[in-house]
Amino acid sequence: MQAEQTTNQEPTEHITLFAEPIHQYGSFTVTNSLLTSWIAVLVIIILALALRSKLKTVPGKLQNLFEMILEGALGMCDQVTNDRRLSMKIFPIAITVFFFILVSNWLGIMPLGGFGIVERGAEGLTFVPFLRGATADINTTLALATMAVIGANVFGVVSIGIWKTFNKYVNLKVLGGIFTKIRHEPTIIIVAPITFFVGLIEIVGEFAKIASLSFRLFGNVFAGEVLLASMAALVAYLVPIPFLFLELLVGVIQALIFSILLVVYFTIAASDHDSEHEEHTEARAEHELSSPSPL
Amino acid sequence: MDSIISTFHIDWKIIIAQALNFGVVFVVLYIFALKPLSKLMAERSQNIRKGIDDAKTNAALLSETRAEYDAAIVKAKSEADKIFQEGKKEAEQKRTIMLEDAKKEVAAMVEGGKKTLEAEKVKMVEEAKSEIVNLAMLATEKLIKSKQDLNSLS
């Protein structure tokens, strides 16, 4: 399979920060990570269809495994949201992200690095593998992180309304409150502008979320691939095996972290801070009224 | 920013392609796996819940039926006892009445016997008296006759 060009020079293999192109369709470049991503999609589709065809009231092995994963994941989702109805809304996206990242991560560490093409570049002949972990490409993690953050905000708009979501970032409500509450709370003249600027910082925070989600996943997976390649280069046999298992574990952990963070972002987006604050104030007032007077 | 883009080869076309990949995975997984599996699990949970509820209802019904059965048995026993006591009392009364009747009958029979015996006795005495009279008359006749004979002989 290794389509090696006829040359006397030995091809060199470089670990690059970016995914290498393996084919060009007009202006669209097919990279090895995109190919892995397509394979991951195919694997998930085959698994989903296999599961669908074997669905029974009394579950088989595959269905049992999926049910266990689903129940565990839903329980974990509940721990974050504290609300089963909210969990049921977020869960399909979170579990899809989990499976997509997991399969992509595991495909990336499959020992199929020997399949690829040899290209002549500026540094001579270089070997380009067909498969590279989809999440070891910043484009994939950036796509996932952007969708997660945009999805969370859309979910927030659907859950609590566009006005409340808008006020989380551009808090016009608190600015308006200066004129209505200044007589009762004079400190609002200081607190309101601070709250307004905190809202503006939240906009930056959304971009920071995209950066942290994408670079965390990319960094961990890419570091794993570098580690495996280094180990294989140092000692070809047996020694890389424990690291392969470690990377399998890292693949699960990273998929889990990304999914849980996605659930956290969706939960935060769906929570109404104002009503929570009002509820808290009301509860405090009720408590003060109901508690006996020290006099 | 440009250095980041060039270092990591950030390409918006690949980003969109990866987003599309994720979209395909989401749609397929939701339609073919998550939705039917969730539905099946929910149905199973509902069946189990229904089974537990039915078992609880059946247990309650069984306990209620057992209580009713016990109450019916106790009631039947008490009724049977009551009927037995009533029967016993009635039989006692009947026995007493029959005994009294028998006593009366016996007394009447004894009385009748006594009367018959008395009548028989009187009759016998009278018969004996008439017999004695007859015998006395016969003896007297014989004496007279024999005296006459003697007289004639003499």
Nearest to A15 by CA among A236, A184, A226: A226
pLDDT category of residue A279 using cuts at 50, 70 and 90 = low
Residues in A closer than 8 angstroms to B25, CB to CB, are 40-41, 44-45, 96, 99-100
- Taking the CA atoms of residue A134, residue A135, residue A137 and residue A143 in that order, the dihedral angle to the nearest 10 degrees is 100
Q: pLDDT per residue over A11-32, tens digit each?
A: 666 677 777 777 788 888 888 8
Instruction: With respect to residue A294, please indicate whether it lies within any of the assigned structural domains.
Output: no
Using a pLDDT cut of 90, give the percent of chain A over it: 30
Q: Which of residues 27-46 of B touch A (CB under 8 A)?
A: 28-30, 32-34, 36-38, 40-41, 43-44
- Distance between first and last Cα of chain A: 89
Instruction: With respect to residue A290, please indicate whether it lies within any of the assigned structural domains.
Output: no
**Angle, alpha carbons B80-B81-B82 (nearest 5°):** 90
When CB atoms are compared, the residue of B18, B22, B29 closest to A48 is B29
Instruction: With respect to residue A220, please indicate whether it lies within any of the assigned structural domains.
Output: yes
Quickly count: other Cβ atoms within 10 Å of residue A225's Cβ: 20
Query: Which whole number is the average pLDDT over B95-120?
Result: 93
CA distance A159 to A162: 9
DSSP code of A20?
Answer: P
Only one residue has tokens 């029967």, namely B87
Cα distance from A92 to chain B (closest Cα, Å)? 7
CA distance A270 to A152: 8
Domain count for chain A: 1
Q: pLDDT per residue over A42-62, tens digit each?
A: 999 999 998 888 888 788 888
Structural domain span for residue A189 = 2-285
A29 → chain B, closest CA residue: B14
**CB half-sphere exposure, A275, CA atoms < 13 A:** 7
CA distance A204 to A212: 12
Residue A132 pLDDT:
81
Residue B57 pLDDT:
94
Q: At what angle do helices A162-169 and A172-181 cross, to 10 degrees?
A: 80
pLDDT category of residue A278 using cuts at 50, 70 and 90 = low
Residue A273 pLDDT:
66
Cβ atoms of B3 and A29 closer than 8 Å: no
Beta bridge mates, A30: A23
The ipTM value here is 0.81
- In chain B, where the domains are located: 2-153
Cα–Cα distances in Å, from A100 out to A72, A144, A149, B110, B130?
A: 17, 10, 17, 122, 150
- Is the full-model pTM beyond 0.90? no
